[in-house]
Every structure is written in C-alpha cells, then in structure tokens.
Structure 1
Amino acid sequence: MTDAVRRLFGTDGIRGVANRAPMDALTALRLGQAAGYFFSRGAHRHRVVIGKDTRLSGYMLEPALTAGFVGAGMDVVLVGPLPTPAIALLTRSLRADLGVMISASHNPFEDNGIKLFGPDGLKLSDAQEMEIEALMAQDPVGLVAPSRLGRASRLDDAPGRYIEAVKASFPKGRSLAGLRIVVDCAHGAAYKVAPTVLWELGAEVVSIGVSPDGFNINKECGSTAPGRLAELVRERRADLGIALDGDADRLVLVDEQGQVIDGDQILATVAESWAAQGRLNGTSVVATVMSNLGLERFLESRGLNLLRTKVGDRYVSERMRETGANLGGEQSGHMILSDFGTTGDGLVAALQVLAVLGEQKQPASEACRRFTPLPQRLVNVRYNGLSPLGDAGVKEAIAAAETRLGHRGRVLIRPSGTEPLIRVMAEAEEEGMVEETVESLAALIRARAAALPMKVEG
C-alpha cells in the first residue's frame, strides 16, 4: 500500500470530523480490533493505555476503542484527559504494548483524532500504520475466544505520575520561586497538570484555559491564539506566558512585553544553553523545512548544524534517533527533548526555557531572542485536478527563483499532506524579494493548476 492510496492515517495518526467516517465509533472499534491484533505478539497479557483530551467526542471514541481492544484480547488502562506526552510516558512505564491518544491537537472541538504509540513510546512508523490499516479492511479481524477477552480499568494516579516526570526534567535544586507565570492550557488535556507542575516548582501561577466544557478546546486560546495570554502577561506583569495546545505537545511562549516567542526561537535558546553546558548531543539540532533561515544561520555562528526534515514532529523524532541528536522541534512549537521523553512535550520544553532564564538572569525578551528571523511568507494554492508540481514550466520557475535568491534566501514548494494544496514559501534578506518571489510562483502554479485535467480516481 502506498501513500497515494492510504485512506485513514495521515501525517499524525487519523484525523477527521467527529461522528463522521473515519472519526466515528465504527472506525474506532475496527481500529482497536486491528491494532490489538497487530500488537498481540507473545504469550504475555497484552495491555494498551488510552488517554484523551477534553473534546465531547472523546466520550464516543474512548469506549469504541476500548471495545475493540477488549475484543482483541487486550487489557485496557484508561487514564482520562492527559497530554499526549503523558500517554507516551505511561505506555513505557506500564510496559504496555500500545498507547493511544484521542485528540485532534490544536484543531477545534468538532474534529478529533487518534494517535498510536508503540511499546517504546514512539509514534508508529508509516509501515506499521499501513499494516494496521490493511488489517482493518479484513472482516472480522483479531477477535478472540470469550475466555480470552481483555479487561478495562482506570489508573487513578496517572496525572501524578506525569507531574513527577515533568518536574524531574527541571534542574535539581532549582525552583521557580519569585517568577509570575501565566499559563494558557487551551481548555485542553493539560488543564490540571500544567498549573500544578508550575505551582509545585514554586512559581506564582495565573491560569487561563482551564475550564473545559467539551466545546471550548482551542477556542480563541492556546498556542494558536495567544492574544489573550499576551494581554494578561502585560496586565499581571508576569515574567513569562506559556501557551499549550489541546493535547499539550506544542508550545508557544510570550515574553514579559507580550511578544510571541515561536518554536524556532525556543530551539535556539535551548540549543545555545545546552551546547554551553555540554548537554547537547553532538553538534546538530533537528527541525523541519519550515524553520526560518535565521535559525540555521544562528546555529552555524555557534558551531552547530541544523538538520532539516519534512514537516511533522514524527519525522523530526526519526531523524533525531538516526543522528543521535537530543534536541529537535518545529517552528509551530512541537519541541522534542529526547533526554526527557519520546515525543513533543510543551510543558517540559517550557521548563527548559525557564531554566535558561534562571541561569542567565535575563528577562525572556532578551534570553529568548537569539536571532532576527528573515522575512518569510507562505501562500497556499488550492487545486482541484492533478498536481501542478509536475509541470515543466513550474519546475523551471522554481529553479529560477532558487538561483535568483542564492545564499540570500530560499524557496520551499511542497504539497500538503492532508489537503489538495500547494504550499508556496519563500524567505530572503529583503522583504520585497520575498513578496515578489511568492506572488509570481503562486500565480504561475495557480494558472497551471487550472489548466490541468481533473484527477481520475480508481
């Protein structure tokens, strides 16, 4: 099965509108059966950990998945609303065969998603997802005899286990005493654990986005909408603002002046500190093709390398394992610190930045502004037929733009992994050059797309 014919799994598990295929109870049931069968290797009792965020549809998907896994002979451990990195951690801690997170991350409440983790706490590979998807097409799959059905139970101390693990990532003997921190939990999975971690480490905590009702997750709050957080940081004269997304694997910061600090600046801040302390494995930091060229130049000025991957924190994680790097992330705020976990963890990343603030005795506006980003612009071009990227004229135009920018910038043209979109991005030292490059390429791609025939399915 190739990417071209995959129907369910995308760049980060399965996503969709709740109560519509593929994000309906029937698909969740079949996924539980297929994944349960796939991971039931060996004679031991098999176990799966299931967590979720605060969306209303979690009440539908959680029992459907549970039924599927129980029917495949797996014992199910339910932990309720917890961040995605907590599920990865508990999967390893409980020696489970599989971990499942029910969340659509930063999307609105109408959407939901299902992410799978292997026994090592890592997201599944493309090959594993394709095998599970193939199993789901069989009828029935993985159903065991009545005597071998699994059981379901709840782990009441799951939040406490995660809280202690996150606190352990902060330097020993240090505290957050004297710091006022505003944390926005996006009415999502970290609404209890994030304020608790910061308070237990000694900070004065101002919490927002901590009243989930099933509908308000990510609504005008969280890492994709930090406006209210920025206002509150200024109003309360806080030292730092922390914005998480719905499943808390993504982080955006706000300095004491109310200015947003994105993932690239966070990577630069932590990388420089870790390199100085000898904590950075090797000389490489991993990021995606979307990270600003300013980050790459900053790291080079410090004797470090930026290794780029395609978009998706899973690909960042894979490259980190291949190269032995222990720091990676995305401009959007996914931060992977493999010394402390196997997947993006917004709360752990925030604590690493707070450790830097303590070391340098500087405000966030200084400590977390390590470089000046190059002007960057992204335009999405939608198409309805065949992809225009195979067109000879488009290829020539892209090559010409790359030559024109040379070492002063770069062009990135890539198809979306989830929609019929071409993402046209350019960055350069001069803003005018960025605008001209993006507009001309987008106009050409749009025109060539309109001239191509519709895609024939089948």
Structure 2
Amino acid sequence: MGRLFGTDGVRGVANADLTAEMALGLSVAAAHVLAEAGTFEGHKPTAVVGRDPRASGEFLEAAVVAGLASAGVDVLLVGVLPTPAVAHLTGALGADLGVMLSASHNAMPDNGVKFFARGGHKLADDLEDRIEAVYESHRHGEPWQRPTGAGVGRVRTYGEGFEQYVTHLLSVLPNRLDGLKIVLDEAHGAASGVSPEAFARAGAEVVTIGAEPDGLNINAGCGSTHLDKLKAAVIEHGAHFGVAHDGDADRCLAVDHTGAEVDGDQILAVLALSMRERSALRADTVVATVMSNLGFKLAMEREGIRFVQTGVGDRYVLEEMKEHGYALGGEQSGHVIILDHATTGDGTLTGLLLAARVAETGRTLRDLASVMERLPQVLINVPDVDKSRVRTSADLAAAVTEAERELGETGRVLLRPSGTEPLVRVMVEAADIEQARSVAGRLADAVKSALG
C-alpha cells in the first residue's frame, strides 16, 4: 500500500477512505509515538482535539477520542476551531499532542486527521512514518499493552479554548482596526465563530458571509477557493476590503475595495514591509515556494528583502523557517506563517495583521499590494508522459535553456512533475501575456516530444 500520510496529514472520503476504524487506529498509534503511552511512569499524557464543522467530523472525533483514551491519554475537546487554534492550544496548554479533524479546502465529503507534536508543531516525515508503522502493526494483530482502571484516559470538554485563541490573536496586533469596514468570508468553516469575533473586538466593522456552517456546506461556492461572493459583497457594502478563509482557516486571501484579488504573494509582500519597519523581519528575509510569482521576487529584491525559495508545500516553507530562524513565509495560495506567533499557517492572524497595516498607514489595500506587480503566468498540464525523465532529458533541457534566454530577467520557466498523476506541469511567467502563452505552448510541445 502507499504511504497513508500526505502533505498535510491523512485525508480521504470520510467513511470510505478515512473510516472510523482508521481514525481510531491512527490515534492509538499517535498516542504511542507522540505521548509514549504505556510508559508514562506517573505522567498521564494529554491531547487537544478539535475539528471543522463537517458532518463526518462528529463520528471521526468520537473515534479519535476513543483511540486516545483507550491508550491512556486524557483528552481536551475544544470543539469546532481552526487548525491554527488547535496547534496554538496544544502548545499553550502543554499538551503532548494535538489532533485536528479537517480536510481544509476540500469538498465536504472529504475529511482528514492531522497530528501536532508537543508545542503545536507539525510532524516531521520520520514521526509520521513511525505512526504509520505502529498503526500497521496493530492492524495486523500485534498486541499492545492496554491500560485499565484508572489508567484509561479521561475526556472533558474544554470550552475555554475559543476565548484563549481570540485573546492570543488580539495580543499580537500592533494597532487597532477602528474605522475599517471588512467583509469576512468564513467558508462555512472552522473560523465562523472566532474570526468575526476577533476582528470585531479589534475595532473593525464586520460584515460576515459564509459563516453559517451546517455540516454540509463547508467550502461550497465560498471561501478562499471561490472568491466571487466576497468580491460582490465588498463592493455592495462599500467595504475597505475583504478576507477569505478556507474550511480550517489556515489560509487567507483578500479582495481590495475594487473587488480585485490580493493573493498570498501580495499579502506576504505587504507583511514583509510592515514587519521590517517594526524590526520583526529577522535577517530581512521572507520564505516562499518556487510557485511564487516572479513579480514577488522582483519586488523583494527592489525593497532590499532577501527571498528564499523552497519546494511546493507550506511544510517545506515551515522547515526552512525553523531551520534558519526566519519570521515570515508562505505560499501564493494564502498559507502565511508568522513564526513568532503561530506554528502553522493562520488565516485569521494573517487577515488581522493585514488589516492592522491598512489601519496604521491609512492606505488602501490596493495601494499597499501594488508594491509588487503580478507578472502574467501561464500553466499547461502535459498528460501521459514519462515524468521521471523531466530532469534527465537533454532535449528538454535545451528547450528550457532557449526559453529562458528568450524571457531574460523578466520571465521564468518551471517544469514540475505531478506528485500524483502521470503529467508534467509547464509554468511560464513573462512581462507580456502573449509571450508567456507562446513560450509555454512551445515548451509543452517539447515535453510531449521528449517524454511522450
């Protein structure tokens, strides 16, 4: 079988791919690996468990709790809260592990199980591999020492988590948001309660859409993957700007007062300049992925900020930040990590800091975001090719070299083999959209010819 853990926990269609039995088994395995269950020597481990509003989260939460408690772990149920809230509470409460049930921006039938280690940190690959190995051994009948009597875990609802998280968010803000009118699209997701509360307490006039989760409507035509409703609402209400989260609120995208999208690259650029002014941008460096728009790189160079690139995925951004002590990083998709205040992407925190910058400067978000110009970007998927030879084909290397020569300093080429499908993604950026399309088309033909 393939590896259970993907780039962000274990995900699949709830009750088909991700069953109650799997959630229970994974939780037992995580208890043994992360909380050293069965060998506590007087220390009873604790886990923080939260979820997004998906209907399937109800039975999966029950399965996770059963697994943890049966392995001797006390459980604090924080209910429906964003992923970054569960990560924060795991660290703030000194818990041995955290568990979040969510499939983020995926459609409602999906769900996922994501584990956090002590301190609220995402798991390294080796820890995920150990959990998976223990899970498989238990699944194939290997016995484990089950606590009995007073040794089993106790379960209690921890209702204080909501207030603790909101208080934490407000404590980070450098200034209030008085005078701002902001539309929030909560994707009918996990931040439907905390995000409007935090923005309102910070002084903003808040208009909310997509904040009525019923267990079935999460991400349905709303949130960070569907911005049309937010764009319309910002214009209708004459708001200063709008903020959109995804289902578990670890992402933030924005819309300016004209209805134009402000993506993760632009948000990073605005926050980088703001943090540098406050001497909070360590080493004057920001971390982003190879998929960031070339306009972001050029803007950072112009502003004297160093730009470090990683592979695609917020986990790689986070690894680079932790290894070198950088304070800010993120992705074009809206995962923004402010490491001094969060251990993972936090969409509500990002939105609040973006709003604080608008309030502090008196400038519009459109004006602030204009620090970078998004260069036209063309993406072509080339299917049914031998993606394993992308980096070894001499013919393809020659085609790329020619394309890069033509584009010069104001263009970029990226060929990426898909991680899950037999295809190669061709991405070209250029100052002119027609040139980008022309070069991308020629490169796609070269991929077919060389790898087909």
Q: Shorter chain as normaliser: what TM range?
A: over 0.9
Corresponding residue SS for 1:16: strand
Structure 2 partner of 1:354: 355
**Matched residue of 1:223: which SS?**
helix
Deviation at 1:358, TM superposition (A): 1.7
TM-fit CA distance, 1:386? 6.3
Q: Which residue of 2 aligns with 1:254?
A: 255
In 1: Cα distance, 2:205 partner to 2:359 partner: 15
| Greater Cα offset, 184-193 or 69-78 | 69-78
Contact 2:231–2:259 (CA under 8 A) maintained in structure 1: yes
CA–CA distance in 1 between the matches of 2:280 and 2:222?
34
Letter in 1 for 2:158: L
Partner of 1:455: none
Matched ranges for 1:94-113 at <5 A: 94-113=93-112
- 1:277 is displaced (CA, Å) by 2.6
Q: 1:207-356 alignment to 2 at 5 Å? A: 207-356=208-357
RMSD: 1.8
The aligned runs of 1:54-453 (5 Å cut-off) are 54-139=53-138, 140=142, 142-147=144-149, 148-171=151-174, 174-383=175-384, 387-389=388-390, 390-446=392-448, 451=452
CA contact (8 A) 2:385 2:448 kept: no
% identical aligned pairs? 46
- The equivalent residue for 1:52 is 51
Write the distance in 2 (CA, Å) between the matches of 1:110 and 1:382. Answer: 27
The alpha-carbon distance between structure 1 residues 417 and 60, as it changes in their structure 2 partners (threshold 3 A), is: farther
Task: After superposition, give the CA deviation of every residue in 1:385-428 in whole Å (9 maximum; x if it has no partner).
Answer: 76452544334433443344342322111123344442221112
Q: Which amino acid aligns with 2:438?
A: E
Q: Residues 35 and 97 of structure 2 are in contact (CA less than 8 Å); yes or no, is this contact kept in structure 1?
A: no
Displacement of 1:179 in angstroms is 1.4
Residue deviations 1:199-237 (CA, integer Å, cap 9, x gap): 111211111111111111111100111111111111110
* Aligned-partner SS, 2:122: coil
1:40: Cα distance to partner? Answer: 2.6
Q: Is the 8 A contact 1:48 1:97 kept in 2?
A: yes
Unaligned regions of 5+ residues in structure 2, if any? none
Structure 1 residue aligned with 2:13? 17
Aligned residues of 1:105 and 1:247 also touching (Cα < 8 A): yes
Find 1:33's aligned residue among 21, 28, 33: 28
- 1:291 match: secondary structure: coil
Check the 8 A contact 1:317/1:336 in 2, yes or no.
Answer: yes
Report if aligned partners of 1:287, 1:330 keep a CA contact under 8 Å in 2: yes
Task: Give unmatched runs, 5+ long, in structure 1.
Answer: 452-458
Helix, strand or coil at the partner of 1:205: strand
Secondary structure at the counterpart of residue 120 of structure 1 = helix
Which amino acid letter does the alignment assign opposite residue 30 of structure 1? Answer: G
CA contact (8 A) 2:386 2:423 kept: no
C-alpha separation between the residues in 2 aligned to 1:157 and 1:368?
37
What amino acid is aligned across from residue 205 of structure 1 in structure 2?
Answer: V
Q: How far has the Cα of 1:353 moved from its partner? A: 1.1
In structure 1, distance between residues paired with 2:120 and 2:143: 25
CA distance in 2, matches of 1:88, 1:418: 28
Q: Tell me how many residue pairs correspond in the alignment.
A: 443
The one-letter code of the counterpart of 2:64 is: L
How far off is 1:74 after superposition?
Answer: 1.2
For 2:301 and 2:186, locate their aligned partners in 1 and report how far apart those are by CA, in whole Å.
34
Greater shift after overlay, 437-446 or 267-276? 437-446
Q: Distance in 2 between matches of 1:103 and 1:420?
A: 28
Q: TM-score, normalised by structure 1?
A: 0.92
More off after superposition, 209-218 vs 384-393: 384-393
Taking structure 2 as the reference length, the TM-score comes to 0.94
